[in-house]
Amino acid sequence: MKVLVTVKEVAEADDDFSIEGTDIAESDLEYDLNEWDDYAVEAAVQLAESGVADEVVAVTVGPERAEETIRMALAKGADRAVRVWDDALDGSFPDVASKVDLFEAVVAEEEPDLILGGVQAADTGFGATGVALAERIDFEHAAVVNHLDVDADEGVAHVHRELEGGVEELTDVDLPAVLTVQTGLNEPRYASLRGIRQAQRKEIAAKELSDLGLTAADVESALTVRSMYEPESESDAEIIEGDAGESAGRLAEVLREKGVSA
């Protein structure tokens, strides 16, 4: 079985940041592997280690900078990677359908049996690409999976979907399928030194739109960010000032007023 795992390099804003135009200033952003995707990578690598998956291919949409992040997926055990980028994508706010266009083309080349990705990206938070992709490529799907057991012989993934309020839905999903993975599914490993060394020799195939049989018109986004701003604080909290000892003293007073004590 071949597993495709979608990963994204996400931007995280520093505690202090400024907004330039319709985005956070580049100097106030730090890039890292999307937390949810880390769990998807781990799930894919575990499938390889248990003999269920023969090959794990990581795929990302991102500029050259993203190679560092996708190499993390390789260091953790993915066999090779595909990185899709094109000047036509630079500076746009892609809609779900254009991301699906890109992944659809990669899926056509790779022909995976199972696609794993995170529930959402920490920066844009759409939570939609995996399920939309499944519809496009005629795969089954399950969103927000927090327990996974793949039975390759049966051609079924037994999953739990994490619903709200401490309830899990137990579902059998026919393969081929796209599963979006929730944090907590497993314990993502740290890349070993050996893994990091091996990752240097693994292939990252860079693809442009033309390599995938697409044009700039295919990935034109229906979404435009008009403005970005810091939400006004609705806080009417009493800010307890002072050093740690002073503020702890004042808070202890508040707690005693509320009748809190052992």
Partner 1 sequence: MSVLVIAEHRRGDLRDVSYEAITAGRELADERGSDLHVAVIGGDVDAFAEELNCEGVDAIHAVDDGEEFDHNAYQTAAAALADRLDAGAVVTPNSVNGLDYAPALAEALGVTLVTDAVGIDYDDGLTVTREMYGSKVETTVDVAGDRFVLTVRGGEWPPVEGVGDATVEAADVDVPESGARVTGFEEVGGGDVDIADADVLVSVGRGIEEEENLELVEEFADALGATLSASRPIVDNGWLPKNRQVGQSGKVVTPDVYIAVGISGAVQHVAGMKGSDTIIAVNTDPNAPIFDIADYAIVGDLFDVVPELIDEFA
Interaction residues for partner 1, span 124-163 (CB under 8 A): 124-132, 134-136, 140-144, 160-163
Judged by CB under 8 A, the chain residues 43 through 72 that form the site for partner 1 are: none
Can residue 248 be called a binding residue for partner 1 (CB under 8 A)?
A: yes
Least gap, CB of 145 to partner 1 (angstroms): 10
One of 25, 108, 216, 255 touching partner 1 (CB under 8 A): 255
Distant-in-sequence, close-in-space partners of 217: CB < 8 Å, separation ≥ 6 = none
> Which is closer to partner 1, CB of 65 or CB of 197?
65
Can residue 38 be called a binding residue for partner 1 (CB under 8 A)?
A: no
Applying CB under 8 A, the site for partner 1 has a residue count of: 85
Degrees, nearest 5: CA angle 161-58-164: 15
Q: Which stretch binds partner 1 (CB under 8 A): 56-64, 71-79, 123-131, 193-201?
A: 123-131
Can residue 254 be called a binding residue for partner 1 (CB under 8 A)?
A: yes
DSSP-assigned letters across all residues of 50-61:
TTS-SEEEEEEE
- β-pairing, 19-20 vs 23-24, is antiparallel
One of 5, 70, 96, 107 touching partner 1 (CB under 8 A): 96
Can residue 91 be called a binding residue for partner 1 (CB under 8 A)?
A: no
CA gap 207, 83 in Å, rounded: 6
Can residue 99 be called a binding residue for partner 1 (CB under 8 A)?
A: no
For the stretch 125-129, contacts whose Cβ atoms lie closer than 8 Å and that sit 24 or more positions apart, written own/partner, are: 126/96, 127/180, 128/96, 129/6, 129/96, 129/99, 129/100, 129/103
Q: Is 225 exposed, middle or buried (0-12, 13-18, 19+ CB in 10 A)?
A: exposed
Q: Which stretch binds partner 1 (CB under 8 A): 56-64, 83-91, 200-208, 239-247?
A: 239-247
Least gap, CB of 117 to partner 1 (angstroms): 12
Element (H, E) at 42: helix 35-49
Least gap, CB of 28 to partner 1 (angstroms): 10
- β-pairing, 29-33 vs 9-13, is antiparallel
Least gap, CB of 53 to partner 1 (angstroms): 20
DSSP state for residue 191 in the 8-state scheme: P
Least gap, CB of 208 to partner 1 (angstroms): 24
Judged by CB under 8 A, the chain residues 7 through 36 that form the site for partner 1 are: 11-13, 15, 17, 19, 22, 24
Q: Would you say 69 and 60 are in contact if contact means Cβ atoms under 8 Å apart?
A: yes
Degrees, nearest 5: CA angle 137-140-141: 105
